[in-house]
Structure 1
Amino acid sequence: MKEITSPAVSSAIKKLLSYATLKKKVDDEYQKYVCLPSRKLYSMEVNEETVSCIGVEFLNSKAAVIKHIAVLPKERGKGIGSSMIRFLCKNYDIHSNFGFQITSLGEKYLGVDRFLCEFKVK
């Protein structure tokens, strides 16, 4: 996993973020990752190709919100999403027993399935 800090969004990251938010919001969301200290964006590569990204907003030392998570369609189902979450848990002392409650929001935007993923710290 590598942190994305470049002021300019790459085409690979732009494509991935478009899976997680509206295309017209990609540039604004990317700028928040670059400019806000409470936000971090990471990517993962396989065979030198960027295949996934995860964006997180830290609310405080014990709470974080995954704002965006995306994996290229051809790479889905291989545990990449889980490994990105494990990375966050390990590096930011977030409990790794996922325990997310996932609620489908349906196809909120044309062609984009949305989910509400809530994690409750015990």
Structure 2
Amino acid sequence: MTEDLDWIARAGLKAKGKRPQYLDPEDDRVLSILMALVGEVSVLRERLDTVERLLDSKGTLSREDIENYEPDIETGRERNLVIREYIARVMRGVQQDMEALAELEPPIEDVVKEMEAR
């Protein structure tokens, strides 16, 4: 059934409703492109890890071996850590900006106390 789907056409479909905008339109578009690339690189890294593990264990591989590979729990944990570290590196600048903004804003409790004192 999935063989009949046009995945390229489906990838270009727009979601219903207004897309949330967090930054100015140009930066939002660049961030969207970046995150799509991060996803693609993540898939490639996982697939390469599969190839390497199959070569280590069997010394040879086929496309079928790659497609049917199922990682064990430990491999899943290793991959999870690798992807989390990767995303943290990619998003480091955004994270630092968020932390800087948080430092500029006083805790809500302080704001409430100040308003009550007025």
**TM class by smaller structure:** under 0.3
Higher RCO (C-alpha under 8 Å, 6+ residues apart): 1
Larger Rg: 2
Q: Which of the two has greater helix per residue?
A: 2
| TM-score, length of structure 1 as denominator length | 0.26
So what's the TM-score if we normalise by structure 2?
0.27
- Larger strand fraction of residues: 1
